[in-house]
Amino acid sequence: MAEDSRDEVASQVPFNDLCYLLEKISNTSGTEKKKKILSTFLTSWREAHRKLHKDSPKTTDSFYPAIRLLLPQLDKERGAYGIKEVVLAKYYIDILSIGKDSVDGRKLLNYRAPKNAKQDSVADFASVAYFVLKNRCPEKGNLKVSQVNYYLDEKWLIRIIFKELKVGLSENSVFSAFHPDAVELHSVCNSLSKVCIDLHDPEIRMNEAQMSLFSPFRPMLAERVAIDEKQKSMGKECNFIKRKMRSCTFQEVLMTTHISLHSCILDGEMIVVDPKSDVWLSKGMNVDVKSLSTYENASYHPCFIVFDILVINDKKLANVPLHERIRTIEKLLKPKPGYLQFVERQDASTSGMISHFMCALAVSSSIPGQHPSVFHSFCKVGTGYTTNELHELDQLLHPHWRPFDTKRPPETVILAPGYKEKPDVWIEPTKSKIVQVKAAEIIASDKFKTGVTLRFPRVEAIRKEKMWYECLSLTELEKLKSMAEGKLTYQHTNSEHSHEPARKRRKGVTRNERVTSVAEHFKPADLSSVEQVSQLFEGKEFCIVTGPASHPKAKLEKKVAENGGSFTQNPSAETYCVIAERINVRVKNIISQKKFDVVQASWLIQCLEKRQLSPWQPSDMLYSSPATADKFAEEYDRYGDSFTQDATVESLEEVFKNVQSQNSAVSLSRGEIQDVMEHYFPDNSPLGLFKHCRRGTLTRTKKITLLVICCRGILNSSLELVGLKLRLYGAQITDTLDDGVTHIVLDESDLRRYEELQRAYVALPKRHFVTQHWVAQSVQASKLLTERNFRPV
């Protein structure tokens, strides 16, 4: 390493001070407070700069060494490191001799789901590594800022390597704290070092940002989506600048010899042309435009389409109106027919939310009527929705996201081999939502399992009314591909008039004014053709929010009107009740008012079918107002069982479900269960034949316990089946011969213990010795037969 330069501020600032600054900014809430902390650091840097260079005012030393660490994602002079999380984790494990199977080793390798980690550390490798390394590294490093820039404290060094600081300060916030004109100058020159040198003194303002030949600048884009076209600066001496401000060169220089000017800067798009078929290649063809040749026998040719001109013969045109710059281009270049498609500008705050989604198509099941169980990845979308729509979608999907693991990929969602496009998280298709996507065309792609994808996809609508299995299938995709060669726009390139020049005519600007109207789910039903057929709902006003698929909202409103009732779109004091199929956002808002009864739509449908206004039951309610709840408390118990109405099979099933759902079931002993049966079903229970046969004390003379003497020497003895039958009919079985036993059942094929047991219990005459036939014939006769006829012989 070369000797550190002692005449730079960066060589005297410990890297630990920069880490402390980043930690303090990260732990502070509010952009203005964060900027104030950064401004304090900038002031101290400038103060040190003045003291160090008071004798050399023309020094090139600047804030550049620090700002390239504060904004590593904008540092174009330093290439990519080629290191991601897993590779760096392996380096740490190897250098620090950490076992791969140890707790710390697993934390580093599986950083996306660390155990016993704080919530803000999940999926942040730098935070996980900090807790692993803090006991293995010195508390305070001795590196200087200049040394860190050459080598490029743990967490912040790792985040600088990954070019993701995550301190809550945007690029513009850092630039505005450095200098009021820093944002504008960087957008023109795209060079951190130039910004730091030219705007070193915050008191000196920049008059105008100047563009120069062969210096990258960031053009104003009509579309904010980062696609793969390349923005170019082009001339007789060619220097091509990509959109991300990286320079690229062709294998041979493209000479433009017929333009009568000595210098210019053009803004446009580099595309690839197939000279044989005279078509433009789509972006999914994976053709490297930099390696193409311009020879006549080359298979593909590069073609540059000009959008704008910024400099001509050293004259700056950046501040010239666009229409004048267009006229300048028309004088210099012959235009090629084509079109430019715009999308609506979307300003959304998506911090902390998932804003880009991978979409998949269903693989149709081979069994008719069965829902699909496998889905193939198809495309990615990240634009088209509003902020509110994205927030609502995030609330629906957030509880169901699962981290994506390439070692254990999901079985229901299949990605392309090699995971060229893989998500950070995934969701079960049954929990997902369907989106309506608009695109220009279907193009080939090996990044998705379907083998094709969409060009310029954007979300048009989130289809909440559709079920998860109603998405586009692979079969339907093939039909779309076969139509117009995959073009999805209304005017296809193979139409019969596509090669005819369009007639030029002046058109007035037409504005499609959006007609203000009520949303569909708030509109009342059309009653122009409805005739009243009954007075079932006479004098009652309903507010119908939703209905089932068989009876949608409009249909229920018409039925209410046909039967003499009325309806409203917003409940009031005159509203009888609110009807809803399920609890959604609007129903929650109504419930929060605690004024209205919210009844299930099934109750209204039953009233229509029975042609009778049935009283509400607790099982019909989604929410009961305080008055209705008090009435239910007088007529029903807490499980919904009526005090006055006879129970039915259906009502008892509903009551038992409520008991189960409320975890109110009481654990009863067998004796307590028999007491209940004796009290409510003393004689007529068909399965209570042996219900008095139970273990009890001698004072319970009517309650007896049976001792079944199984024949252990005989395999599959019939007494095993007899014991099961006795239990089925309410008896209690014991294998202990004590005072509570009143019946002893023996197998007549094995009476070896009969005499022994008879002598042992001769003093207890109430014990009956019977064979298994007493059990079988008593069950057949549905009563207890006399024991003396079944004594063992």
Residues annotated catalytic, as ranges: 244
Under 8 Å between Cβ of 164 and 174: no
469-472 long-range contacts (CB < 8 A, ≥24 apart) are 469/362, 469/371, 469/372, 469/429, 470/434, 471/360, 471/361, 471/362, 471/375, 471/434, 472/361, 472/362
CB atoms within 10 A of CB 708: 21
Under 8 Å between Cβ of 53 and 185: no
Measured CA to CA, the distance from residue 374 to residue 411 in angstroms comes to 7
Nearest to 173 by CA among 38, 78, 351, 46: 38
Nearest to 61 by CA among 179, 197, 227, 206: 197
Strand order in the sheet with 357-363: 357-363, 374-381, 413-414
Give the tokens for residue 148.
Answer: 């860190």
Give the tokens for residue 774.
Answer: 């007493």
Angle between helical axes of 15-26 and 31-52 (0-180°, round to 10) = 160
CA dihedral 618, 619, 620, 623 (to 10 degrees): 60
Measured CA to CA, the distance from residue 472 to residue 478 in angstroms comes to 10
262: which residues sit within 8 A by CB, 6+ positions away? 236, 313
Tracing tokens 């990240």 back to the chain, one arrives at 382
Residue 764 φ then ψ, to 5°: -115, 90
Measured CA to CA, the distance from residue 661 to residue 250 in angstroms comes to 71
Give the type of residue at 230: K
Tracing tokens 């969602």 back to the chain, one arrives at 413
The three-state secondary structure class of 522 is helix
Q: H/E/C letters for each residue in 647-697? A: CCHHHHHHHHHHHHHCCCCCCCCHHHHHHHHHHHCCCCCCCCCCCCECCCC
The helix (run of H) or strand (run of E) holding residue 724 is helix 718-728
The three-state secondary structure class of 768 is strand
Cα Rg of the chain, angstroms: 41
Give the type of residue at 619: S
Give the type of residue at 701: T
Residue 456 φ then ψ, to 5°: 55, 55
Measured CA to CA, the distance from residue 429 to residue 119 in angstroms comes to 26
Kind of pairing between the strands at 566-567 and 575-580:
unpaired
DSSP state of 588: H
Q: Is 76 exposed, middle or buried (0-12, 13-18, 19+ CB in 10 A)?
A: middle
Nearest to 772 by CA among 748, 755, 753: 748
